[in-house]
A and B are shown apart, each in its own frame.
Chain A
């Protein structure tokens, strides 16, 4: 049987919509990325290899990806709790808290970065509390981590929230009548159905964290090999007119990010199938 694009449907314009989708994706997403890869290809495979295995570049990539993963994982736990509280409990000021979750979306990232740097600097409100114990937050990888947690929170909350709202409370009651205690109910009954949404939020927060620039450069200290992120390194290379180096790092970031997102999507598709969503 030949594959056919034509399907009987109540909604018209399948061909038009599909054509539009492909053209749009091509122009907005794929074309710039193709240009990037082409530009990076100019240096040739061996050139690319030398550029990317440079210890400073490797350090920056490790910082960017490692901390983005760590921050997304942190948010997966705490963002989940925030979403749960916002859906399940009624308390004064709930609307305000709900709105405040979106602030990291709306705030210019530079503003967030300056505010965080001021708070966590050794003489800042929070930084001064940790200073006596020899813990430095701003201008270390820890500072980057905090900025990424700040930036990533709404992604988790906003993807998990509607799914929690849809959750049937009867399954919790069913679990209790079957003798499960509260922890068992949470970990065996409540959380598993939220996994696909949680993974989506995790992927979004992670992707955002990898690409984040504005809020980090103010708090990171930007010390090569330690607290320098890959996007900053790209900017530095650009300022040095080293376009080939910049695109090479960008290409590696692109490939690694794509691989990780693809992996998350596959896990998500698998868990969705298991839940009978497919």
Chain B
């Protein structure tokens, strides 16, 4: 099911002036796995709830396929919604939770009991909880509960699957497992899926496309590669990965960091000042006298998974910037070094 979101505006009563959604437009293709990524307060959850019909937008339209869904009730929209805290019915068994959406249908559309039982068994199989049907939610772990919640949402054969921070309440290991597993389920079932997350790693790893939200607006929509490699704004650059920035300016066809000319090709004609945004792998620690080296000082060292990281202050003008330190390099805090800036992304200062 294709979903078209057009100029949605949603302000909460007693909100602080700024609407939670301030003219959001987004197209979600059929069968796509889309992440809504943003910090808290960016409006991502509100957008998901507007799609589900749990919030009503003040203006704008929402299309499910070619059908106007703006005024449909929650029940009519036939979405599958998975909540961050599972929202399982604790007085029902796992099987009854999953069957709930089928059991509440009126007699004309409700499948016969044997059929419901079969569907529940299939779904339990799908979420790898085949022997847990008779348990109650209180007897399950967090990850198992979230899998039940997903099975429950899938049982009604939703037109679109909406997940609100589905892994937010789980610990790191379970999160990683469930992420892979959700990807797998999406491949198998092919549901159009939208999920909300504040975790950029999760969004980039899982989604076909990512929509980055900030302050009730869409900052950028694109594939994980586009979002990471060519961020459309300083906000996106900062949000989707580790980054630092140095103040630079263009003069005489070159980019200058203070008195240093950087080895970065530029196509700007006029003089312009702005910030050069850098990822850790864009900055290389070199000898002080190496060609194109900019003077820097090491202000911190730390271990991050397989790599070592150095925090450096460049040219005395920038705050700490992360770099990847070579394993064999002997570095110490306070040491004066040179850095070579190989690439970066320039954003003119507003």
Interface residues of A (CB under 8 A from B): 168, 170-171, 173-181, 184, 188-189, 192-193, 274-276
Asked if residues B138 and A174 are in contact (CB atoms below 8 Å), the reply is no
Q: B138: which A residues are within 8 A, CB to CB?
A: 275-276
Contact of A171 among B87, B136, B156 (CB under 8 A): B87
Interface flag for B29 (CB, 8 Å):
no
> Closest CB of chain A to B90's CB: distance in Å?
6
Can you give 11 A-B contacts (C-beta < 8 A)? Answer: A170-B85, A171-B87, A173-B81, A173-B83, A173-B87, A174-B83, A175-B100, A175-B104, A177-B80, A178-B153, A192-B89
A178 to B74, CA, bound (A): 9
Q: A176: which B residues are within 8 A, CB to CB?
A: 54, 74-75
Do A275 and B90 form a contact, CB below 8 Å, given A168-B85, A174-B83? Answer: yes
Interface flag for B139 (CB, 8 Å):
yes
A276 to B90, CA, bound (A): 8
Chain B, 61-102, CB within 8 A of any chain A CB: 74-75, 77-81, 83, 85, 87-91, 100-101
Asked if residues B136 and A173 are in contact (CB atoms below 8 Å), the reply is no
A180 to B73, CA, bound (A): 11
Chain B residue with the shortest CB-CB distance to A180: B104
Asked if residues A178 and B91 are in contact (CB atoms below 8 Å), the reply is no
Contact of B100 among A180, A193, A276 (CB under 8 A): A180
Interface residues of B (CB under 8 A from A): 52-54, 74-75, 77-81, 83, 85, 87-91, 100-101, 104-105, 136-139, 149, 152-153, 155-156
Q: B155: which A residues are within 8 A, CB to CB?
A: 178
Q: B77: which A residues are within 8 A, CB to CB?
A: 177
Asked if residues A177 and B89 are in contact (CB atoms below 8 Å), the reply is no
Asked if residues A179 and B78 are in contact (CB atoms below 8 Å), the reply is yes
Q: A189: which B residues are within 8 A, CB to CB?
A: 89
Q: B78: which A residues are within 8 A, CB to CB?
A: 179
Q: B88: which A residues are within 8 A, CB to CB?
A: 171, 174
Q: B137: which A residues are within 8 A, CB to CB?
A: 276
Asked if residues A178 and B101 are in contact (CB atoms below 8 Å), the reply is yes
Asked if residues B87 and A174 are in contact (CB atoms below 8 Å), the reply is yes
| Closest 10 A/B residue pairs (Cβ) | A276-B138, A178-B101, A170-B87, A177-B81, A174-B87, A180-B104, A192-B91, A176-B74, A184-B104, A170-B83
Chain B residue with the shortest CB-CB distance to A191: B91
A276 to B152, CA, bound (A): 20
> Closest CB of chain B to A137's CB: distance in Å?
39
Chain B residue with the shortest CB-CB distance to A194: B91
Asked if residues A178 and B52 are in contact (CB atoms below 8 Å), the reply is no
A274 to B91, CA, bound (A): 6
Q: B81: which A residues are within 8 A, CB to CB?
A: 173-174, 177
Chain A residue with the shortest CB-CB distance to B82: A174
Asked if residues B85 and A177 are in contact (CB atoms below 8 Å), the reply is no
